[in-house]
Structure 1
């Protein structure tokens, strides 16, 4: 061995840099943290799950008449509508939660860590997906047990449920993230975000059938995703008989997919345009 080879052999090899976890893996880890944080807030958990249950039991018990010629009760109509509302929970919960995290400096501190921004949003989306899914399961259980709701037996209707639910949760989560930049402080987040959500529920078929609304309100609700989510879920749980209750006598699932898909894309664009990591007082 030559002197040069000997010297080269004595030079220590630098250790390889450890491979960085993927965005998805970090997002899953962030989701686990978010889920633990959510379930530690007992009052928030109770309100989140109890509120739609109370509404369904009260409205379903008061308005239990059968809709003429359909074999469907008003109670069953409420089940489908409140499932749509539960699917859009992320709009309100993420909007208020992220506004609070921005106001108390949590977002600013997270931005200074190696956590990729995409992983933070993946975590938020996954906890929203879990909470919405649990709400839907509970509402369906109550609908079956108390209001004689029949679960569909056709795989095609469950497939419709899957894509309406997925697009609905994703679009709602993106809109919640986007609207979180609107409140100036955490204290103003609840009224600023909760009010439009309540209004949407009343004009989108959650509590009042579209046939009972003025045409201008129906047209206004058609711009937003909740109306189409409720319509998609009615197609799943009310079947062909329920189509007679729709204004067009059809569930228009092609339009449901088109509008919900457009809101997913639009919500992403709004997030990219409006999201801020710092509060207004931080510049």
Structure 2
């Protein structure tokens, strides 16, 4: 079994009468030679690492070694617990969990790259919010990780998932797209709706540049992860309401690839453009590099 496109993925789910996550589980069983119980246990280990990253980051006020990030997850968690959030519990909790994961990454903690370290806050933010607010079980979340893996597999094989290759649209854009489709499947949507959510989320981040201040995956990366969780839930809501992407998902992925190819080198993780070369961004870079010299 091989999945070469979202169109083919939908056809396979219809033929096999399986969910997207179940298709990836079958494909992994076939390729790895491991049984499904073993694969589920291996994926659960990733889920546990995600939970540990959130727990480590959410109550830690300490700054990252760079001094340019840290403590915002605690602030967001306090804000949400006070009932002040304007976004509703699903999104506000996902934002707090995403911050916790990304800040843990900045402190050199263990995270799960989904699909990259720079975008590692989105999927755990979304999944753990679904567990908290919708009662999703660990088994549900593990299957959700297989769903996200399938969507990411197609994106990675048809386009980019690295900021250096295609800009932040390839990292945060892909992660938000994967998360959106996963939300749909976990909330009982069809594979077609999941793929539509994937397309809608990716379209919403098309053209997003990768411009890390001082070359570190912190500013603006961490807050982009947070915003990515909101986009994932919005795209999922649209798809679950029966709203379709007017541009098919495979064409959206191709567009992301073409935009990434056309993006100047200064906006692809080199820290030579965008926010990295603002007055403040350059001051941060000078301060950090002067310490090292």
TM-score using structure 1 length: 0.32
Greater relative CO, 1 or 2 (CA 8 Å, sep 6+): 1
Which of 1 and 2 has greater Rg? Answer: 1
TM-score using structure 2 length: 0.32
